[in-house]
Amino acid sequence: MKQVFSYIIALLVSTAGVFAQSGEVRQYSFQDSVRLVLESTKANDAIVVGAAFNTAWSSLGPDHQNIIRSQARLMKKKGYKVRPHFVNYYGAIAAAVTIENADLSKLSNYLATTDKVLAKDNTTQANLFFQQSRDFFENHALHFEKAFQLQVVDDNYQFDYLEPVFISDTVQTEYYDQPVDTSSYNAPFWQQPIVQPDVYGPVIKFDKLTLNFTTPYDSVLLQNTSGLFALREKLFIGEGGRFDWSAAGLPSDSVYYELSKYNFKTNQPYLKAEQGKLRYIGKVSTFVPGIFEFRSINHKTPETSIYPRFKSYESNINLKGIGDEKLKYTGGLGLQGNRVNSNSVDGSLATIEVRGETDKKFKAIAESFGFQDSVIVSPRARVTIYQQNDSIVHPAMEVWYDHKNQKLVLNKEKSQLRKAPFSSSYFDIEFTADQIRWDLKSDSLSAWIQGSGNISPMVLESNDFYDPEGYRELRGKGFSFHPLALVVNHANEIGSNDYYVYDLVLEGRR
């Protein structure tokens, strides 16, 4: 039987094979010889491919059949193995005919690309091409696994083989005195031309397509784009298209991002794009340039999703629907799922300023604000509460402001500045508070300290009255003197607040 198997392998690339059994000589067609060899491997995948190829063979024209025989002969000569090389090679052809229903031009295009792969690539690269092509023809997808499928719809494609272009040193190049466009040199980084990666080898070029990212948590579309799929690198290089926020529960025709040039690995549900523009009807009146990001991760409902995400490049966005004319916002525009925030790529601080009928009420400056219906929040903001020409200031508080009901709540946050006091210029005092509540329609506010007065009293300090415990803590550890006392005493001795540090060092040595 081993002799028979070897004989079939040897005749795999011819139009007929000879099989000896019980003294008979039986002639087999090319497709039957392929089927017999694949069946003899006893592998289920190979057996299925053998049967499918046998079925597809009759749908191939004489020209395509001859090309396949020639390619199989070359593969055998180069030492390609039945598994995985021939299995994936015949599997791709069978799927192209029986599943993809590829027309004659697409099939010719694919076989021409295969010719170049066999001529220029090694066996590992060639097998990757066969396997990726087979997956594409079987599933019409750039990636297909249980956990993630990247399916292609509404498309038009062709296979191609890209090769680097070399310019000979002997070629004479003529140069002309022409003005050089330097406008992009002085443009912001996000307006610089996008340079896409160079790819070579077999690719699938798409004049148009829509990509469907499908995972156990999402099914989202990148619509009406174009580009090429590099089969070796599993990389899609694209341009244009639209990605909406329906995955986060927002209307697809009201919130979407229009892409410029982009690229991403096709074996993971992740996409990032730059230099595109966001449209958010009801929040901004124009398209906003910025960065887009999508990643499919576990979430229970669209409303709890934290993707897609967006950050504006600049912090000069005029947001709508966050109050009336008495509330002024200056900052960026960000989206995290369906939640709007002030994040921007340049990292500039955002500002919320609220006015009353005749005067300013308060101002908050933060790295990030969140906008939730009628509420504005920030985990950490510098807050100024105005008292005509005076103010109450704190460097870092959590902010909660209901602009509909004009109620402000400030809570102690968790950084090192949580121990910092409020400073009141009107009373010329500093005081500690864990929370401040203020109804802006009222002329007074409430300051709160957690715990009882004996355990956690409110501390007020001024130029004449200070907290002894705070003074003690300023001494630090390891000093035989109090640094603050040394500074103040030396200033009193010389009658001036201006002196050199060296003078202070000499004073400390006495």
pLDDT digits 0-9 by tens, 269-302: 999 999 999 999 999 999 999 999 999 999 999 9
* Same domain? 418 vs 329: yes
Coil, strand or helix: which one is 7? helix
pLDDT single digits (tens) 240-268: 999 999 999 999 999 999 999 999 999 99
Q: What is the mean pLDDT of residues 168-178?
A: 58
Across 449-467, b (16+ Cβ under 10 Å) vs e yields beeeeeeeeebbbeeeeee
Please tell me the distance from the alpha carbon of residue 254 to that of residue 60, in angstroms, as a whole number: 48
**Based on the domain organization, do 157 and 300 belong to the same domain?**
yes
The per-residue pLDDT of the chain, averaged, comes to 89
- Residue 246, pLDDT score: 96
Give me the number of domains the chain comprises.
Answer: 4
Quick one: 111 and 258 in the same domain? no
pLDDT in tens, 354-409: 998 888 999 999 999 999 888 999 999 999 999 989 999 999 999 999 999 999 99
Q: Residue 321: what pLDDT?
A: 81
Q: In the numeric block, which tokens belong to residue 36?
A: 């017999």
In a domain, 6, yes or no: yes
Closest alpha carbon to 420 in 437, 448, 396: 396
Distance between CA atoms of 240 and 45, rounded to whole angstroms?
Answer: 38
CA–CA distance from 294 to each of 239, 277, 279 (Å)? 16, 15, 16
* Domain annotation covers residue 173: no
Q: Is 482 helix (H, G, I), strand (E, B) or coil?
A: coil
CATH value at residue 361:
2.60.450
| Domain end residue (candidates: 106, 124, 139) | 139
Query: For position 337, what pLDDT does the model report?
Result: 97
- Same domain? 135 vs 146: no
434, 510: one domain: no
Does 377 share its domain with 448?
A: yes
Question: Are residues 412 and 377 both part of a single domain?
Answer: yes
Confidence check: pLDDT of 23 > 90:
no
Domain assignment present for residue 200? The answer is yes
339 domain residue, yes or no: no
pLDDT band of residue 1 (cuts 50, 70, 90) is very low
Is 99 contained in some domain?
Answer: yes
Please check the confidence at residue 13 and state whether its pLDDT lies above 60. no
Token pair, residue 401, equals 């402001």
pLDDT on residue 210: 98
Distance CA 391, CA 429 (A): 11
Q: What is the pLDDT of residue 455?
A: 64
227, 121: one domain: no
At residue 310, the pLDDT reads: 98
Q: Are residues 233 and 268 in the same domain?
A: yes
Question: Is residue 158 scored above 70 in pLDDT?
Answer: yes
Cα Rg of the chain, angstroms: 36
Residue 340 lies in a domain: no
Are the C-beta atoms of residues 107 and 97 closer than 8 Å to each other? yes
Question: Which pair of structure tokens corresponds to residue 108?
Answer: 């010719």
Q: Which of 51-65, 169-183, 341-355, 414-428 shows the lowest mean pLDDT across its residues?
A: 169-183
- 146-150, 251-255, 345-349: range with lowest mean pLDDT: 345-349
- Secondary structure tally for the chain: helices H, strands E: 10, 27
Asked whether residue 103 falls in the same domain as residue 52, the answer is yes
What integer pLDDT is reported at residue 5 of this predicted model? 42
Domain's final residue, options 74, 104, 139:
139
Mean pLDDT, to the nearest integer, of 323-352?
A: 93
Positive or negative, the CA dihedral 231, 237, 238, 243 is positive
C-alpha 159/C-alpha 110 separation (Å) is 6
Q: Is residue 188 part of a domain?
A: no
pLDDT at 435 over 50: yes
Task: Give the Å distances, CA to CA, from 451 to 88, 394, 448, 454, 458.
Answer: 72, 21, 9, 8, 10
Q: Is residue 186 part of a domain?
A: no
Q: Show the domain range for 150.
A: 141-162+194-312
Please determine, for residue 10, whether its predicted confidence score (pLDDT) is greater than 60. Answer: no
pTM, two decimals, is 0.82
Residues 153 and 101 in one domain: no
**Pick from 417, 416, 396, 400: which is nearest to 408 by CA?**
400
Are residues 353 and 452 both part of a single domain?
yes
The percentage of residues in the chain with a pLDDT greater than 90, rounded to a whole number, is 69
Give the model's pLDDT for residue 16.
43
The string of DSSP letters for 295-351 reads E----SSGGG---SEEEESSS----SSS--TTEEEES--EEETTEEE--BTT-PPEE
Distances (CA, A) of 442 to 238, 260, 374: 57, 50, 20
Strands 350-355 and 360-366 turn out to be: antiparallel
